[in-house]
Amino acid sequence: MSSTDERTHGTDGASAGVPMVLAEGVHKRFGLNEVLKGIDMTVGRGEVVCLLGPSGSGKSTLLRCINHLEPINRGRITVDGQIVGYREKDGRLHELPEKVAVQQRADIGMVFQRFNLFAHRTALQNITEAPILVKGMGRKQAEARALELLERVGLGDRGGAYPSQLSGGQQQRVAIARALAMDPKLMLFDEPTSALDPELVGDVLDVMRDLAKAGMTMVVVTHEIGFAREVGDRVVFMDEGVVVESGPPSQVLDAPQEARTRTFLSKVL
């Protein structure tokens, strides 16, 4: 298993002691359905945390709350010490205007189950759009960076290809490059291999392994138990909107303390 001690941590003195992600008492409802029921979770800098659990346990919702794609109903989430999506005044949280939230979100890369690439734009164009529009980067600089990232994810010769000309695995690697083009401090992965044919999964996981080795802080919703065991610093098992168990992969996967965790793992291992 990789450990955070083996990785390069891009921290400065002022922020080194601040967790990259801190969720405190997070509740989220959709109508009468309470999906998150008081989630507490800390993700350290350079740490890879893998979220496991059955469908409907709240994993993806938690991920979407971390970058404020979903507002929360109670509690708070900070990324790099900054409250996400809200400002605090007189002890209360007030939701930020969407334009401000978008700027915050620029520091948080997210890769979805479905690749969400623009079908009418090439791989290169998909990657350069956000740096140009959100960060104001010059086109030449953005394109040079995009070519570097395509090379990094093993697609250096596919910049001119449209999504329809790429396999699912290639599209997902373009999606990862697109997220990295914003130079995020945190990467969120929502079951990034679940929509792929089995033979295409390995290439995507290899890119994620390389990111972990380079020190990227990552929160990964996954059913890839082998990846969680090998790359994760910590595994968090969720069920019915709560954290049931959390710890090193060797503990949670090989010697789970909770009966609910054991039942789940007996069906997926």
Give the pLDDT confidence score for residue 103 in this predicted structure. Answer: 83
Helix, strand, or coil (residue 14): coil
Alpha-carbon torsion, ordered 93, 98, 100, 102, to 10 deg: 120
Helix, strand, or coil (residue 124): helix
Sheet holding 242-247, edge to edge: 108-111, 186-190, 217-221, 48-52, 234-239, 242-247
3-39: per-residue pLDDT in tens? Answer: 433 343 344 444 668 999 999 999 999 999 999 999 9
Give the pLDDT confidence score for residue 14 in this predicted structure. Answer: 46
Pair type for strands 82-83 and 74-79: antiparallel
- Those residues of the chain that have pLDDT short of 70 are 1-16
Percent of the chain beyond pLDDT 70? 94
123-137: per-residue pLDDT in tens? Answer: 999 999 999 998 899
What are the phi and psi torsion angles at 159 (to 5°)? Answer: -60, -30
Domains of the chain: 21-266 (3.40.50.300)
